[in-house]
Each structure stands twice: as structure tokens, then as C-alpha cells.
Chains A and B, each alone.
Chain A
Amino acid sequence: MLPFELIIEILTRLPLTTLLRFRSVCKSWNSLITDPSFALNHLHATSTRRLIFTRPADPYFTDYSLSSAFASTSAAATRLFPSAVPGSHFHHSIVGSCNGLLCLFTVSRNLLLWNPSTGKFRNLPSLEDQRFSVVTSGFGYDHVTHSYKVVVVLYIKNHEFDSRVHTLGSDSWRRIQHFPLSSTACCPGRFVSGMLNWLDKNRFIVSLDLALESYRRISLPDFGGNNTDEFELTLEVFKNSLCVLSCCSHFTDVWIMKDYGIAESWTKLLCVPDLIYYPEFLGFDFNVPRATRAICISDEDDEILLELWLDMEQKFVVYNFSDDSFRPAGIEKFGGRVASEVCENY
């Protein structure tokens, strides 16, 4: 008789339809297959990642598979239309993605969850309080109650921000404590290990524990005494850890928080060198391109996809940090501001 751990390995590799059938084999298989953590492991074991881009004017998403985005030759993008979604001829912005689900924010201030693999979507109950504008939002999964939650932050008045949480399956939004933000400029929340994270200007990270529904502040890495106002900081999630990218005029650093919540565990993951040393990327008049954003790290863990601007033109390049080289990425330029999201695909 095979030990149970090997049975788990076998079941993890089976397609979903077979797994659902095998719930009837025996009681122990039934409990295993219906266990939420097994289900998550199975999804992650059988999924591939996709890169989704959105532009403010487009009523569609531009979608690349991660491997083709990192390939050197120009990849074929597919256009995703959240069709059958009400108001889909207008632009939707992405709040976040989690386990292959995308949370979208529509032009008419509605939120919905969409599964690009199956096409199914679900409207969330509407946010009342039309007088308050939405400053930021976030989407994540609560491991404790095994439910998806969407968080929305509203601007009440000077320095006062209210937060509302919706748990998927319930029918309303709940108020939770005030969002401790110091300004209105805020990017969407990044979800990592049960916490949603936002950058508060260049000072702190605001972290929301989805299970406890309470906020706290986490300090940023020690950039070594440099004036942090000169940096452009962005939050990303790589390899299940929170990362901070600091871009200034001549370099881009990627810092990773190895142990979540512990500010001392910020480590510099890599430093993308100045492109001035790479003549093939220099522009007219030897202008040096500036990296503005890191989009994601490859599946093999040795390359990072960056967005660059040079001579007012946008380029996507891949930096390989094991052999310290740059090459063009397989993504066509968008010619404008673009938001990106890494999404799992089943």
C-alpha cells in the first residue's frame, strides 16, 4: 500500500475533472480532494502564469503568457475582452488578481470578479456612498476563513480615509477601521501571504491583515541615507514575497522582504545596472534609458522584465541577473501608461 504522501503527489498531478470523480473512491481521498489547501496546491501545480496589461483607453486587456513575454522574439498577444460583462465596451481597471481570479473596477464604479479561463464573472454588491471617491482598492484571499475579500478605500475628508471590506458570498460591504494613509496618491494593493499592502508615499507600507481586518505600518528598506523623495518607489510581489523597487535616475534596486512584516529582513535582491554601459540601448544624443518599473521575475528565477522609457518611447527589456545582460522582451510597446498584472491561468 502506497504511503499517503505519495498518493497526494499522484492526485496533485491529475486533471480537475478526474479529481472530482475520485472523491467517490474512498473517504480519505474525499477529505483530501475537498480540503482547501490541497485544492490550492493542485491549482498552483497545474497552472501557468500570464501577464495582463491594461491601458486607460482600451476596452480590452492585452494578455501574454509569461514564457512568451520573456522570449526575445515578439510574442503574439491575445486580447481579452471581459465580454458578457456589463459595460464591457468601457475600460475596466484591475484591482488585483488571486488564484486566477481578477477583480475589476468598472467605469460605473462597480466591482466584479472575473475568471479569464472560464469567462465566468460575478458582480459584487454596489458601493453606496456615491459622494466619496475611491482612492484605492485591493483583492486577496483569507486563508483562515477560506474566502476571497475585496477592500475599497474611500476619501472622506482631509486626511480621513474609510475602508470597506466585502467577503465573497456575503451581500454587503462592511466598514473596518480607518485606513492610515497620509495622502491621496496611492497605487492598488498588492496581495501577499494573507496581507494586502499599499505604499504610503515614500514613507511606509500600510499592511492589512485580511483575516484580522486590521492595519499596521511596516517600514521601508533602509536605502542607505539617500533622500527617498528622489526615488520612485513601487510595490510588487515576486516569489510570494513583497518587494520594493526603487528607481532613480541611474539605477533600479529591487528589495525583497524575506520574512513578512519584519523590517530587518529587507534584503537587496538585485541592482539593475545603469544602461549607460549598454550602447545598443542608448538613444539619440546618447540619452540613457530609465527603467521605470519592474513587471515580474521569470519562472526560472533568473530574469526580470522591466519597462524602460527612452526618448519618450516605451520599451520592454529583460535583464538576466545571472549573466548580467539585457535583451529586448517579446512585448510590443504600448506607447503610453500601462498597468500590468500577473495572473495564474488554469
Chain B
Amino acid sequence: MELLCIRQWISGLLPTWLSAWCIKPVGGALVRQEPEYILLALMGSPLKKIMLCSSEKEIFSVEEQVMVQHSVIINNMIEDGSYNHEESKIPLDCVDSKTLKKVIDYCTHHTHHHNDNQEDLEAWDAQFLNVDSNGLYDLLMAANYLEIRNLLDLIYGTIKNMIKGKKIDEIRRIFNIKDHGFTPEEEEQNRKEYPHFY
């Protein structure tokens, strides 16, 4: 039978409550999960896992569902078939093991606790981001690389609150700006004109 016929046949077999369940969020958009995959999952085959490889060559096994829901990059790799489940692992050369573990943690928690109430999720997020600024930057770069929209928004929000009220000297320290690029005269002029900024 043609693949299309198989799909239609399987969709016909699914009761409506199950079709409703076959919706997964992908990077903010809703996409219908392939019905034959659901049927296979129901038949008892283990949930598909994928392998992610950190820059330190450590391999992390994670449910495909979880990563595909959050990371646009990983979702695209799986959808366009460039990832072969049997053999390959996804190399993430710009993400170290510690950060990758945290990212996987975030995605897993948000998938499994998707229906929790808003306050609990926010509390978990706040605890999750309770890291030092280096850790925060590593998370930001990883989320940017993997294109995980909700983690990015969360991190940008945290950074915004962190720096909004700070003085210029503190900002320079936070962003590791060693050379501000102003001439000594310009810097002195600024400090004289806006002493409360510093």
C-alpha cells in the first residue's frame, strides 16, 4: 500500500480523543503528530530516543519528543531526515557537557510538566536560572544555537531584570568590557555630566 493510504487508514482507526492527543507543540507552533507513529508507540515500542554529543564528546540520550518540541534546530534535523536513529548522534560542538545537561533538563521538565500551573512553572524556572553569570551566558549561547525560543525569552528576561538598574561600572564588569573605547577626555566628560550613572 502507498504510504499515503497507510496514513489515511491509520488516521481512520484512531478514535477522536486520540487524534486530539496527537498534537505536539514545536517551537511555539502546533503540529499534528504523525498518526502511525502514535499507533506504533501505543503498540508498546519504546519511546524514541536521540543522542546528543557535547563538545567534550560526552553522549546524552534524551527522548526525541522532548528535544523536538523545544529546539527548532533539532526538530528540523529530524524532520528533513538527516538524522538516522540507528546510527548517528547529533554533535553539538559549541555546547559543553554541563550546559547541555542543563538544557536537556529544562526541555524535559517543560515537556513533562506542561500542564502544571503557571506559578509552579515560574518557580521552577527561577530556580533553574539560579546560576552564576558564566553559567547564564553558556545557557544563552546554547539556547541561541539550538533555537529554543522559550528558554531564550526566559534568559533575556532574567538578564534584562539583572541589568536594568545597574551602574555603568557594574555593567562593564558584568559584560566583561575591559576597554570601553572612549578617550580619557570623553570618559571624564561623561562622568562629570552624569555622575549618578556611575
Task: Name A residues whose Cβ lies closer than 8 Å to a Cβ of B.
Answer: 1-3, 6-7, 9-10, 13-15, 18, 21-22, 24-28
Q: From residue B157, how far is it (CB to closest CB) to chain A in Å? A: 8
Contacts A25-B172, A25-B180, A26-B177 hold; do A2 and B140 have CB atoms under 8 A apart? yes
Whether the pair A21, B168 counts as a contact (CB closer than 8 A) is yes
Select from chain B the residue with minimum beta-carbon distance to A10: B159
Select from chain A the residue with minimum beta-carbon distance to B152: A9
How far is A130 from B141 in the complex, measured between Cα atoms in Å?
Answer: 62
Q: How many residues of B contact A (CB 8 A)?
A: 23
Write out the residue numbers on chain B whose beta carbons fall within 8 Å of the beta carbon of A18: 163-164
Smallest CB-CB A-B distances: 9 pairs: A27-B181, A26-B180, A24-B190, A26-B177, A26-B181, A25-B171, A13-B160, A24-B168, A18-B164
Task: Name B residues whose Cβ lies closer than 8 Å to a Cβ of A.
Answer: 137, 140-141, 144, 156-157, 159-160, 163-164, 168, 171-172, 175-177, 179-182, 190, 194, 197
A-side binding surface: helix, strand, loop or mixed? helix
Write out the residue numbers on chain A whose beta carbons fall within 8 Å of the beta carbon of B156: 9-10, 13
Tell which of A2, A24, A26 has the most Cβ of chain B within 10 Å: A24
How far is A27 from B190 in the complex, measured between Cα atoms in Å?
Answer: 12
Write out the residue numbers on chain B whose beta carbons fall within 8 Å of the beta carbon of A21: 168, 194, 197
Whether the pair A14, B171 counts as a contact (CB closer than 8 A) is no
Whether the pair A28, B181 counts as a contact (CB closer than 8 A) is yes
How far is A15 from B164 in the complex, measured between Cα atoms in Å?
Answer: 8
Contacts A6-B141, A6-B144, A21-B168 hold; do A26 and B182 have CB atoms under 8 A apart? yes
Select from chain A the residue with minimum beta-carbon distance to B167: A21
Whether the pair A25, B164 counts as a contact (CB closer than 8 A) is no
Write out the residue numbers on chain A whose beta carbons fall within 8 Å of the beta carbon of B190: 24
Q: From residue A145, how far is it (CB to closest CB) to chain B in Å? A: 28
Select from chain A the residue with minimum beta-carbon distance to B190: A24
Q: Which of B137, B144, B157, B177 contacts A25 (CB 8 A)?
A: B177
Select from chain B the residue with minimum beta-carbon distance to A3: B141
Write out the residue numbers on chain A whose beta carbons fall within 8 Å of the beta carbon of B180: 25-27
Write out the residue numbers on chain A whose beta carbons fall within 8 Å of the beta carbon of B168: 21-22, 24-25
Apart from A1-B176, A25-B172, A26-B182: 4 A-B pairs, beta carbons within 8 A: A2-B141, A10-B163, A27-B180, A28-B181
Q: From residue B196, how far is it (CB to closest CB) to chain A in Å? A: 9
Q: From residue B94, how far is it (CB to closest CB) to chain A in Å? A: 11
How far is A261 from B19 in the complex, measured between Cα atoms in Å?
Answer: 45
How far is A22 from B166 in the complex, measured between Cα atoms in Å?
Answer: 10
Q: From residue A299, how far is it (CB to closest CB) to chain B in Å? A: 14
How far is A13 from B171 in the complex, measured between Cα atoms in Å?
Answer: 16
